[in-house]
Structure 1
Amino acid sequence: MMRRRDLLAAAAVCAAPAGAVAQVRAVAPACPSQRGDVVGLVLEGTGGSAGSVAVFGQAFRPGDVPDAGAGRAALSARLSDGRPVPVQVDVKTRHPDGSARWAVIALACPALARGSRQGVVLSATAAAPGPALDTAAALAGRQAIVTVRSPGGAEWRMDLLPAFRAALAEAPWQAGPLAVAARVSAAVSPAAAGGVASLRLVADVALRADGSLWVEAWFRNDVAMRPNGGEAAYAAQLVLDGRTALETTIPKQSQYTAWGRLVGAVRSGTAPWVRHDAAYLADAAAVARYDLATGVDEGVLARMAQSVAAPGWAVPLAPRGITQDMGQTGGRADIGPATMPQAVWLMTGDPRAAAYSLGQAEAAGAIPWHYWDPSGGAGNGGWIDTRRWPRLWSDGRGGPAPGGLMQPVAGDTGWKVDCAHQPDLNFVPFLLTGRRALLDNLQAQASWCVVSQWPAPAARGAPGAAGPGEGVNVVRGNQVRGAAWSLRQLENASWASPDADPNRPWLRSAAAGNWAWIRAQIPAWTAAQGEAHGWIPGEYGASGVLPPWQQDYFAFTAAITARRGDEAARAVLTWMANFLVGRFGAADRGFARNDGAAYLVANLSSSGQALASWAAMGEAMRARGLSNGSGWGKSEGDYAQLALASLASVSDALGSEKAAQAYAWLAGAGAPFTRAQDFARDPVFNIVPRGRGGARCGP
């Protein structure tokens, strides 16, 4: 398990001597310089031939890439020296004005020696489309066959390519001159799966103009609310063009888990690695605004590379550094607006961080929170939702179906899931790669966030149930950190899901319902909390106090949602800002400035009433021994980092000058672990206000 302290230790071991620590920073992308230019990227060579096709995901700001009709967008590409580059764009989501919000991009790349770099600019100008890829000719003589065999010898076999041809005609993921891709899936024979009927094969197949054939095959033992589900045992093999591309034996796969791999039959070498412009992605409200100027210690990346190279990394269903007992607290590399490796990926573009992050995204399939409803979505299958299962509580206390799962989650999976400490392992990897299987993992986790909550009597379709958020509420009665991370999952899953995805309507309504519910509570909460209002009530596990860092967690989710245009989330964040920012500006009213980043803040009297003024809070802090006074003794941890990140997020989302001023003060106040070298070794919360963060582009 790689925890943040392990990465810090690795950085100390692998770094150069004091004063000469090796740091890795993002490569400046090519600068947009012409009318219609949108964003610059960097191609990093892998030794592939000219014309090798790179496929990746790209988010866009509103209005940058106008609608060109038929699911397309007017987009062209050129190298930094002006040479045009063939490009294909498949738009998956759109802004309210119809412009592209997120798309899968394919580029026919130039030949680049390994390690060499070439800038490329995407421009919202029409380019003459090339001829459509001749799928029939490209598939001639190709082969993609999956075989599943039980320990007893029963065999199930699927030829993927005939199903792929049919899927391309019905629902392609990509369709154009450079790449075609589509999904094929089928139930695996129970006899071949070890006697259970819950195992599915889900394969994303792609052909590219460079002659490569790609298959991302996932074995999902996730069918829920149907008879005969349970633990699967089998051997799996994938043959591509006569070569065994994937072969393994799975002696035990718990229900509600999955594993998969992306493999390819490549003819012209691997396409260049694509380095994104993280500052542009932040402008597009896809990710938080990370500080690109700080850099990341080389030792952190070296440790990631060591982990990926270790033999155990390749084992299906291995945790790959994810904390399996999610109830564990403390500094963890997998908790934040994004995980630490993902933050490093965004801040540096380094392939080592990408490989680690993508490996963990795959490993997320092993977490037993994948509940597939074969009749869900639009009727052809989807992740469990409360429209069809209003009483479902996935906890073992849910009882027999439909109150609980038809087959309860086994107690020997090796995982203990917990909404208050859940990582988001798939959003950033899906955002940057467009790998559809990672969206599955993201959506499944978001579904779990709702059905893992106890359905209160008034909540899920009970007589008399009414009001926003009923049936999907992940905030009421929850720890604030649990509410923050659950809403993070709902928001990211609904934002990332394609407009036509059958899971998206419920995910969007679940997220919106929660924001509407919180917004509806604001008048009552304000009346109770008084002058110092702005903190989300919740279960804290301690009497009379709140951990302000949990409010910071919630602020991250509220801020990114507000920046994506959600007015309810903006209203919630505006209300929260009174506390989040005010805690650093109430010294003249008796609340010590340094206490804004204390581990605990006194918020309730001995009778359980809210302390309704900064003076009352400050007096209680001193009386209970919680105050920092003029020092930082109660802030030993990442609490100041969290406060800085939430102030930056408030400033970015609301344009708050007070938040920016509070950020500037705290950044220079000498609080623990807020030096540049601290963030270089531990960058998960290295989030800054708009206008900070280093150079935007290069020559």
Structure 2
Amino acid sequence: MPVAPIPVLPSTPAAGPFSCASDALTCVEITASASQAQASLPVTFGQPFKAGDWLPATQGLVAKVGSTTIPLQTDEISSHRDGSARFAVLSAQLANVQPGETRIINLYRGSKTSNTPNVPANPDWNLELEAKVYDGSGNVTGTFVAQPQAQLQNQIANGTGRRLSGPVASEYTVVAQFKNKATGAVHPHLTARLHTGLYDSGNRIRTDVVLENTRTFTSGPGNITYDLSIKRNGTVLHTQPKFTHNHHARWHKVLWTGGAQPTNRLRHHMPYFMASRITWNYDLSLKVPETVLAADAASLAKADTKPMGPAYIAPYFPSTGGRADIGPLPRWAALYLVTQDDRTRASLLANADAAGGIPVHYRDESTDQPLSIEKYPSVSVGYGSSTPTIPAATGSTIWDPDQSHQPSLAYIPYLITGDAFYQDEIMFWGSWNMAYGNPEYRNRGDGLVKWEQIRGQAWILRSISEAAHALPDNHAMKGLFRNVLAKNIDWFAANYVNNSSNSPLGAIEKPDEFGKTGPWQNDFVGIVFSRLAEAGEPKAKEVLDWFSKFNVGRLTNEANGFCAAQAPGYYWMIRDSSGKFITSWSALFSVNYPDINSAACSSMGVEGYPDDAAGYAAYIRAMLGAAANAGVANAASAYAKWKTMTPKMDAAFTTDPTWAIIPR
């Protein structure tokens, strides 16, 4: 059942579009807070690039405001297959920004340069974290303290654990243990990861304080109840009241010390963002009503966004019906992309933070990285025997995650912010998806998704591809995600494109029901493979073309006896009564719609909630738009046809653009 739409009332539009310099690659817009002037305004953000636009091996990147060049550094670069940048984390420095002032930072190719970061040997950081831990009866079992200053100094001296490095920002990931104040014993599971960004020559420090309960092989995993205080030089900066931290979960809090937190709004040039093909091409012409944005802000204010709270995410993943978190991207992510409104950004990041509380986070103690099926081909965190054994966790949570109903929760947040917390979140979800299934079913270290429901196969591949495409080239986990993605695409090519024992119409047979297919689940697979094809993944386009015989063909075979109005079917038979695959469109129609005469196609009403933004008819819109962008034959004309057959859907997309993927 589709998600109930929010009522649309007369509205005031969100912030409008802006333009880059005509000779720039792209740009971002920075608008300062109206409350204060800022002598120094550093900004760090993620930026995707079109293939071929910037070659980091031989070219630099230059930032200008007007004709003035400003400091810029580039980090965490992920490349397209041709060696050009796909994505990078950028840090720029603005000076003397007045209250409410807006500046456009234009980006250009330039000469490659090297920058020496200016980092003090002993920054005035001095954070201390104190956790008071309780047992199930509410009794204090110990007070644990983490003091990471000496470790930061050591990492600065040795150049280790550094993620960002340049004239604007140097960021170090400091992993700190909690030690019992009375005994000195290390807490076996609670760990602090502090992503420590030094700005303004280290005089101003941004610390993303991450509390993790994620260890994979340490005995006795379970929920931990504690309260927390974060201090600097003895002064309390933040307190977290007593709560229960889920097993295999994490949460975070960003703090600024040494100076005021920079206050600004950053907006990407979204037409270029979409043109980079880093995500699907959402309809930027949609005018989301002010009432929708206000309602979203009101909903967020009522949502549980405390550590371990669900925000908007459905805790019971297998729940059926239309949901705001299910789609190529969740509704809140699509709303942000088409509006870049501050309220939608708040929802986007709140739900990405909530994802940290879901017990899918397994960090390998020996590598300090998420669990790898390359290192442990026979490991399993879901079902089936696991080698090595993973200790069972104690304590219940509100969450019941599964793979067939999982949202994409951290990908867009990482792409717009470049934050390490969201980068790790992408990896944790990709790792969980690979390690969840029975090792025998997934072919152990190959991580094949063939064993899941069809929709689950789509969403697992989406998760793995997010990590494969977003992680920097030099990351220790990059090769794993790329290899598993490639092995899955190869499997699809071998078992569908080059396998005559499948449906000649291109339908995917349900693995659990002989002779049946779910057209809408086929659409999910088509949507994901369209992104893989646009990303240049080898063999992805030929796999997509095979699936598109069915996906697009449902709209283009009226002359062959199949009515397009019935394209959004729920489940169809794709074998005849003798168990053989149906070979013609007219036979497919007659088997599944025996009471309808295909000769009267033009008089039929469209199935699948054609007026709704989140029904089966909307899935087809997204599939066709994505397929057209990947170059599938007849997809663009089929999209135009389906658009005329679902005329009320465009207005519905202004309320919910989850499926509003359009041809480029």
Common topology (TM > 0.5): yes
Question: Identity of aligned pairs, percent?
Answer: 25
SS in structure 1 of the partner of residue 39 of structure 2:
coil
Residue number in structure 1 paired with 2:137: none
Evaluate the alpha carbon distance shift between residue 528 and residue 453 of structure 1 in structure 2; reply closer, same or farther with a 3 A threshold. Answer: same
* TM-superposition CA deviations, 1:275-304 (whole Å, max 9, x none): 012222222221111111112222222123
Using the TM superposition, give the Cα deviation of residue 243 of structure 1 relative to its aligned residue in structure 2, in angstroms. Answer: 4.0
Using the TM superposition, give the Cα deviation of residue 489 of structure 1 relative to its aligned residue in structure 2, in angstroms. Answer: 0.3
2:652 to 669, 673, 678: 678
1:66 to 26, 31, 55: 55
Contact 2:497–2:542 at 8 Å: present in 1 too?
Answer: no
1:538 to 499, 507, 510: 510
1:144 to 106, 112, 127: 127
Residue number in structure 2 paired with 1:389: 376
Residue number in structure 1 paired with 2:163: 173
- Does 2:447 align with 1:472? yes
SS in structure 2 of the partner of residue 529 of structure 1:
coil
SS in structure 1 of the partner of residue 38 of structure 2:
coil
2:630 to 637, 653, 676: 653
2:430 to 419, 423, 446: 446
Contact 2:128–2:230 at 8 Å: present in 1 too?
Answer: yes
Residue number in structure 2 paired with 1:429: 413
Using the TM superposition, give the Cα deviation of residue 206 of structure 1 relative to its aligned residue in structure 2, in angstroms. Answer: 0.7
| C-alpha separation in 2, matches of 1:625 and 1:114 | 66
Residue number in structure 2 paired with 1:100: 85
| C-alpha separation in 2, matches of 1:689 and 1:107 | 33
Evaluate the alpha carbon distance shift between residue 130 and residue 500 of structure 1 in structure 2; reply closer, same or farther with a 3 A threshold. Answer: closer
| C-alpha separation in 2, matches of 1:75 and 1:388 | 37
| C-alpha separation in 2, matches of 1:109 and 1:307 | 35
| Structure 1 gap ranges (5+) | 461-469, 691-699
Using the TM superposition, give the Cα deviation of residue 268 of structure 1 relative to its aligned residue in structure 2, in angstroms. Answer: 4.8
Contact 1:600–1:626 at 8 Å: present in 2 too?
Answer: no
Alignment of 1:180-579 (within 5 A): 180-189=170-179, 197-209=188-200, 211-240=203-232, 243-265=235-257, 267-310=259-302, 313-375=304-366, 380-395=367-382, 397-398=383-384, 401-402=386-387, 405-408=390-393, 410=394, 412-456=396-440, 459-460=443-444, 471-474=446-449, 476-523=450-497, 525-530=499-504, 532-533=505-506, 535-539=507-511, 544-579=515-550
- Does 2:66 align with 1:76? no
Residue number in structure 1 paired with 2:28: 41
- Does 2:661 align with 1:687? yes
Evaluate the alpha carbon distance shift between residue 288 and residue 434 of structure 1 in structure 2; reply closer, same or farther with a 3 A threshold. Answer: same
Give the TM-score, by structure 2 length: 0.90
Structure number having the greater strand percentage: 2
| Structure 2 gap ranges (5+) | 135-139
Contact 1:196–1:232 at 8 Å: present in 2 too?
Answer: no
Using the TM superposition, give the Cα deviation of residue 188 of structure 1 relative to its aligned residue in structure 2, in angstroms. Answer: 3.1
Contact 2:503–2:581 at 8 Å: present in 1 too?
Answer: yes
Residue number in structure 2 paired with 1:693: none
| C-alpha separation in 2, matches of 1:457 and 1:437 | 31
Give the TM-score, by structure 1 length: 0.86
Contact 2:518–2:571 at 8 Å: present in 1 too?
Answer: yes
Residue number in structure 2 paired with 1:157: 145
| C-alpha separation in 1, matches of 2:452 and 2:381 | 16
Contact 2:145–2:181 at 8 Å: present in 1 too?
Answer: no
Using the TM superposition, give the Cα deviation of residue 370 of structure 1 relative to its aligned residue in structure 2, in angstroms. Answer: 0.8
Using the TM superposition, give the Cα deviation of residue 267 of structure 1 relative to its aligned residue in structure 2, in angstroms. Answer: 2.3
Using the TM superposition, give the Cα deviation of residue 242 of structure 1 relative to its aligned residue in structure 2, in angstroms. Answer: 5.0
Evaluate the alpha carbon distance shift between residue 260 and residue 488 of structure 1 in structure 2; reply closer, same or farther with a 3 A threshold. Answer: same
Contact 1:129–1:177 at 8 Å: present in 2 too?
Answer: no
| C-alpha separation in 1, matches of 2:25 and 2:442 | 48
Using the TM superposition, give the Cα deviation of residue 569 of structure 1 relative to its aligned residue in structure 2, in angstroms. Answer: 1.4
Evaluate the alpha carbon distance shift between residue 411 and residue 132 of structure 1 in structure 2; reply closer, same or farther with a 3 A threshold. Answer: closer
Q: Tell me the number of residue pairs that the alignment of Structure 1 and Structure 2 aligns.
A: 647
SS in structure 1 of the partner of residue 375 of structure 2:
coil
- Does 2:550 align with 1:593? no
The CA RMSD over aligned residues, in Å, is 2.8
Evaluate the alpha carbon distance shift between residue 220 and residue 268 of structure 1 in structure 2; reply closer, same or farther with a 3 A threshold. Answer: closer
Contact 2:497–2:546 at 8 Å: present in 1 too?
Answer: no
Evaluate the alpha carbon distance shift between residue 451 and residue 64 of structure 1 in structure 2; reply closer, same or farther with a 3 A threshold. Answer: same
Residue number in structure 2 paired with 1:467: none
